[in-house]
Amino acid sequence: MTRDVPLIRAWSRRSGTDDNPGAGPAGHRSGDASVPALRAVGLSRAYGQDESLVWAVDGVDLDVPAGQTLAVTGPSGCGKSTLLQLLGGLDRPTDGEVWLGGRRIDRLGERALAGLRRRAIGFVFQSFQLMDELTAVENVELPALLAGASPRTARRRAAALLDQVGLTDRARHLPSELSGGQRQRVAIARALVNEPLVVLADEPTGNLDSAATQDILRLFGELRAAGQTLVMVTHDERVAATADRVVSLRDGMLADDTRLDGSGGTARLGALLDWEG
């Protein structure tokens, strides 16, 4: 996958050449560096009640600056997925606040929240969650169509993104005709099609072998270089080591918050080339 164009291209809203300039949620434009891309304040989520009450996320305070790649780690059941779903507006907190680009989102109505998710948040899941009956390019363009892009614009963006994830020759294939790594690259292209403020990824390499994992991490490295804010949940220390910062959760609470040294994603990604399957 050699590419000589950045993963976020000239049609980017950031470059002001989009056909829908300035649209999107408050703070979507990347101007104010002092506003974190994501903020959690006292964020908590309980499941069950009485004896079965579980605080899956318990009083998390977290700022994710724009452009940061953050890895969230911790043992199974510590609340990583719950935290990611709260941050992405897929779940509602029991207590606390979620802010996206300077806008509080946890109290938005369902319609407003769904619209915001579509335009400002790109999700990547361990199990890809592609639409089986749609081709790769149709999967990628669907969120753009749902966000109101014209069919022509949606197809153009989808084709450009598939090109950048190295899948132009698979654009008309169904997910069942693609490898796991190829499916995840389609899912990443789909997550990017509306130029989200943040990309949230839950175990994005969890179902992938070592070579496919390296492909995905290279893509994330390109996103990082392009200034994309990325939060990824991972069990894999080698994946976490490619981030700018690693936070770990224990029993729903932040247990550690480590900034990795500034040696740069390229150097760290280079080390991944030594991986053995």
Ligand X SMILES: Nc1ncnc2c1ncn2[C@@H]1O[C@H](COP(=O)(O)OP(=O)(O)OP(=O)(O)O)[C@@H](O)[C@H]1O
User: Which residues sit at the interface with ligand X, rule CB under 6 A?
Assistant: 47-48, 54, 56, 74, 76-82
The structure tokens 């959760």 sit at 249
Residue 82 engages Mg ion in binding (rule: CB under 5 A): no
Burial 100-138 (b: 16+ CB within 10 A, else e): bbbbebbebeeeebebbbbbbbbbbbbebebeeeebbbb
Nearer to ligand X by Cβ, of 30 and 234: the residue is: 234
Q: Which stretch binds Mg ion (CB under 5 A): 2-10, 77-85, 171-179, 185-193?
A: 77-85
47 binds, among ligand X, Mg ion, none (CB under 5 to 8 A by kind): ligand X
CA distance 229 to 81: 18
Considering only residues 213 through 232, tell me which ones interact with Mg ion, judged by CB under 5 A: none
> What contacts 11, CB < 8 A, 6 or more positions away?
17, 18, 19, 156, 157, 160
* Residue 81 makes contact with Mg ion by CB under 5 A: yes
DSSP string computed for 247-262:
EEEETTEEEEEEEPPT
- Residue 249 region by backbone torsions, left for phi larger than 0, else alpha for psi between -120 and 50, else beta: beta
Select 21 or 75, whichever has its Cβ closest to ligand X: 75
Q: How far is CA 130 from the centre of its chain?
A: 15
Query: Residue 82 binds which one of Mg ion, ligand X, none, with CB within 5 to 8 A depending on kind?
Result: ligand X
CA atoms of 104 and 13, how far apart (whole Å): 22
Q: State the minimum distance, in angstroms, from the CB of residue 54 to ligand X.
A: 5
The CB-of-48 to ligand X minimum distance in angstroms stands at 6
Distance of closest approach, residue 231 Cβ to ligand X, in angstroms = 13
Task: Please tell me the distance from the alpha carbon of residue 144 to that of residue 160, in angstroms, as a whole number.
Answer: 13
* Closest separation in Å from C-beta 187 to ligand X: 18
Contacts of 249 by beta carbon, 8 Å cutoff, 6+ apart: 57, 60, 72, 73, 74, 78, 79, 80, 83, 255
The nearer residue to Mg ion, 127 or 258, going by C-beta atoms, is 127
Of 63 and 236, CB closest to ligand X: 236
Q: Which one, 81 or 184, has the nearer CB to Mg ion?
A: 81
* Residue 251 C-beta: closest distance to ligand X, Å: 9
CB of residue 77 to Mg ion, shortest distance in Å: 8
What residue 69 binds from ligand X, Mg ion, none (CB within 5 to 8 A, per partner kind)? Answer: none
Question: CA-to-CA distance for 7 and 19, rounded, in angstroms?
Answer: 18
Query: Considering CB distances under 5 to 8 angstroms, the limit depending on partner class, which of Mg ion, ligand X, none binds residue 77?
Result: ligand X
Residues lying near Mg ion in the complex (CB under 5 A) = 81
